[in-house]
Amino acid sequence: MRRSKVKTVVIYAGAIFVILFTLTPYLLTIFISLQREVDLFTRPPFPFKLVTFTLDNYAYILRYEPFLTGFLHSALVAIATTGFVLLAGSLGAYAISHINFPGKTLLFNFIVVVYMLPGLAMLIPAVVLLKTLGLLDTFIGMIFAHSIILLPLMTWFLIGIFESVPKDIDEACQIDGYSRFKSLFKMIIPLSKFGFFMILVFCFINSWNDLMFANTVGIVNIKLLQPRILEFMSGARVLYTQLAAAGFLSSLPVVALSILLQKQIVKGIMKGAVK
Amino acid sequence: MPRIHRDSIDAIKFLLPFFVFLGVFLIYPIFQSFYYTLNDITLSHLEPKFVGINNYVKLFSDKLFLQALTQTLLYLAFHTAIGVPLGLGIALLLNEEFRGRSFARACLLIPWSTPPIVAALTFFLSLNPGFGPINYLLELLGIIPPKFSIFGNPNLALFALASVSLWKSASLFAFIFLSALQNIPTEPVESAKVYGASSFTVFRKVTLQYLKPTIAVNCILSCILSLSGTQAYDLVAGITGGGPGYHTYMLYYLAYMTAFPWNNLGYGATISYIITFIAVIFAIILLRLWYKRT
């Protein structure tokens, strides 16, 4: 069916709007990160005058120790959190989706209620507990703090993903002499690998992007990347061009992941796998 | 051994890590934090002093709390009234075939995946009164006077923050709408067209009816994001720090500031319970309105 001319114009105008709306602030930040501070402070700003681009800001940030440790700590915490959450979450989600036991609905509802709770309502008591246990400002404490929000959330999504694997397959595995553990790891997870991988990416992005928990649980020893960015932004003298470079680099892993895995991620968002 | 019995034992085995972890770090602390709302307690001295419902009573005379409450509701109204239609518009667009559709979809993933603090940073830079290119463009168009700071203006700062939040959440709304659009059966739309309905009538009478539950979902999501989404803290902390004055204090930020920097865990926990309460009320109202109409 052919579209009317008016409709075509509306569609392309809309598309241009969406692309400008989403890309402009991000691209402007990249441009600022490529400028020298002198050029930045002489008006008019970049797209309205020509400037020579430089990679100096990146050279500075990549040698700046607080940024590098932040990057490393964030990566370690995000990977460990993802590992722990997916392991405990898969076991739990398997039980809820493939085993019959009393209290199953109650448990499922509990997870949904947790989804509604504000993160802060969990953070305040968690910080007190971590302090009592001596885990404040440690790696384990940070991984636990992230897992408190992510474990119920990701278990919820994993239940949906595992439920799409027919129960017959699971039962057939057990008739063939598989234990339930083996059936989960050798059949259910491989059969739902796309969904599983998507949850893995969601979990990583959530942990990487977190600011509030990281800012509260990490004090001196564990400084994650996002609190570092906040620190750069609110310092006495802000180094704008370096800040832009740091911001771009800190968003790069998650933005690159989500663009590489575009199709799966969009499917995941559509299923409600985000908060 | 009977099957049911064996199943339950297996279920316990599989759920053990889940339960042990959440029991210790979530369920016990949540009850504990409710107890904190009845106490004066600081992080440096973890010895609660029982004050009864004093923290709740204090809310009604706390000027900053009342200001933050008003500002949160304004922010929430703006975020929902602009964000949900914007998301629907983008979804309708992405539902059409056009060249560059997958590029537009990839673009939408950038705001969605960007860390909120980096989103704050990008707007902090592009709207800087000195060198921000967007600010300069607005100056050229005569919309704002030279060197005007949008985030420094008491009347605009709150809505500017809500707009930054929308930059991030519009794609979320759009993808949720898109999934609903793709699930609408084609027959009602086709038959309406056969009977000669204009495409606007088809949209209003058919498509929109199917989208009703999704609109409700997105409205609830928008409320939750405004009340207690990660953005509700990150953007304020990154861009305005609650200023100018207290004009961008919102409940979530206030609760965080009260609990940690101002070291009053009991009162901070009280505010966070009030936020939960408001979120539940909104969800119930929206769902009620919905089921009455359909």
Q: What is the CATH number of the domain that holds A123?
A: 1.10.3720.10
Best CA proximity match to B286, nearest among B224, B209, B228: B224
- A15 in contact with B at a CB cutoff of 8 Å? yes
Residue A209 pLDDT exceeds 80? yes
Residue A205 to chain B, least CA–CA distance (Å): 7
Q: Considering chain A, what percentage of its residues have pLDDT values greater than 90?
A: 31
pLDDT classification of A79: cutoffs 50, 70, 90: very high
- pLDDT at residue B174, rounded to an integer: 92
Residues 6 or more apart in contact with residue A256 via CB below 8 angstroms:
none
For residues A218 and A84, which has the higher predicted lDDT (pLDDT)?
A: A84
User: Which residue reads 């058919």 in tokens?
Assistant: B206
Inspect the interface and report whether the beta carbons of A48 and B133 lie closer than 8 Å: yes
Q: Dihedral angle at the C-alpha atoms of B31, B34, B35, B38, nearest 10 degrees?
A: -170
Question: How far is Cα B136 from Cα A105, in angstroms, rounded to an integer?
Answer: 56
Boundary residue ending a domain (A18, A33, A54): A54
Can you tell me the distance from the alpha carbon of A212 to that of B231, in angstroms, rounded to the nearest whole number?
10
* A192: amino acid identity, one letter: S
Contact B158, B74 (CB under 8 A): yes
Chain B residues touching A117 at Cβ < 8 A: 30, 276
Q: Are residues B82 and A215 in contact, defined by beta-carbon separation less than 8 angstroms?
A: no
Residues A42 and A157 in one domain: no
What distance in Å separates the CA atoms of residue B175 and residue B157, rounded to the nearest whole number?
Answer: 28
**Would you say residue A28 lies in a domain?**
yes
Closest CB to B279: pick one of A12, A116, A250: A116
CATH architecture for the domain at B54-293 = Orthogonal Bundle (1.10)
Contact B171, B112 (CB under 8 A): yes
Domains in chain A, number: 2
CA-nearest residue of chain B to A204? B113
Among the partner-chain residues B15, B130, B228, the one whose CB lies closest to the CB of A119 is B228
Residue A232 lies in a domain: yes
Give pLDDT tens digits for A254-272. 999 988 888 878 877 776 5
Q: Predicted confidence band at A275 (pLDDT cuts at 50, 70, 90)?
A: very low
Q: Does A152 touch chain B (CB under 8 A)?
A: yes
Q: What is the pLDDT of residue A231?
A: 87
Please list the ranges in chain B whose pLDDT falls under 50. Answer: none
Same domain, A10 and A118: no
The residue-averaged pLDDT of A2-22 equals 87
Domain extent at residue A239: 63-270
pLDDT, position A271: 66
Q: Would the pLDDT of A273 be above 50?
A: no
One domain, residues A183 and A162: yes
Q: Look at residue A1 and tell me whether its pLDDT is greater than 70.
A: no
d(CA A130, CA A164): 37
DSSP classification of residue A47 = G
Q: Do the domain assignments include residue A263?
A: yes
Q: How much is the pLDDT for B293?
A: 54
Q: Which of A40, A81, A207, A211 best tests the B interface by mutation, with the highest count of B CBs <10 A?
A: A211
In a domain, A275, yes or no: no
Dihedrals phi, psi of B49, to nearest 5 degrees: -115, 115
Are A118 and B227 in contact (CB < 8 Å)? yes
Domain ranges for chain B: 54-293
How many residues in chain A? 275
- Select from A24, A124, A248 the Cβ nearest to the Cβ of B33: A124
A32 and A94 part of one domain: no
Kindly state whether residues A24 and A75 are assigned to the same domain.
no
- How does residue A274 score in pLDDT terms, banded at 50, 70 and 90? very low
A99 and A116 fall within a common domain: yes
Contact with chain B for residue A28, Cβ under 8 A:
yes
CA A147 from chain center: how many Å? 12
CA–CA separation, B71 and B251 (whole Å): 8
Nearest to A119 by CA among B254, B228, B273, B283: B228
